[in-house]
Amino acid sequence: MPVSDEREDVLLLDVPTGGDYMSVLPTATAAVATRLGFSLDEIEDLRAAVNAAVTLLLTQDSGRMRPFKKRSEAEGPLHCRLEVSLEHLQIILSRPGSEPLDGNAYQWQVLRALTDEVDSESTPAAATIRILQQRPATEGDADTESYRLQ
């Protein structure tokens, strides 16, 4: 099913910050990227980029990620917004009440290497990471044909 030429498609997810739910975000990203005709390599790069962004957002409290740590409801969920336009897939991840992000963390190198564009913003209300990935120009550019199962 093609993406509408008339409007942007938007998928909103609020995910509890417990480790059991964190796999939902890269999986949702992969599903959207598959629908848009990204290649398998590009899809795996996006999965890794989302994982790196989630790690950055969850490590800022203690300096290291504790995905299975019991978190209180007051910490709030992780918000994910996947925006599909004719030219881009934009992934916006944010966490309310967050401290400034560590710009020297290893995960930033991963994000910069795997995506077309990435930036962040930290305010007293929330920390946000925005990933922008160029869509394949045509389905033929995605080279998905060579990966189809027969």
pLDDT digits (tens, 9 = 90+) for 44-67: 999 999 999 998 888 755 444 444
C-alpha–C-alpha distance, residues 145 and 124, integer Å: 46
CB 46 within 8 Å of CB 33: yes
* For range 58-87, the mean pLDDT: 68
| Residue 102: per-residue pLDDT | 77
Q: Is 4's pLDDT higher than 80?
A: no
Q: What are the boundaries of each domain within the chain?
A: 9-147
Tokens standing for 41? 């390599």
Q: CA 63, CA 2: separation in Å to the nearest integer?
A: 42
pLDDT at 66: 47
pLDDT at residue 91 greater than cutoff 50: yes
Closest of 33, 56, 55 to residue 44, by C-alpha: 33
Return left, alpha or beta for 97; rule: phi > 0 is left, psi -120 to 50 is alpha, else beta. left
**Superfamily of segment(s) 9-147:** Histidine kinase-like ATPase, C-terminal domain (3.30.565.10)
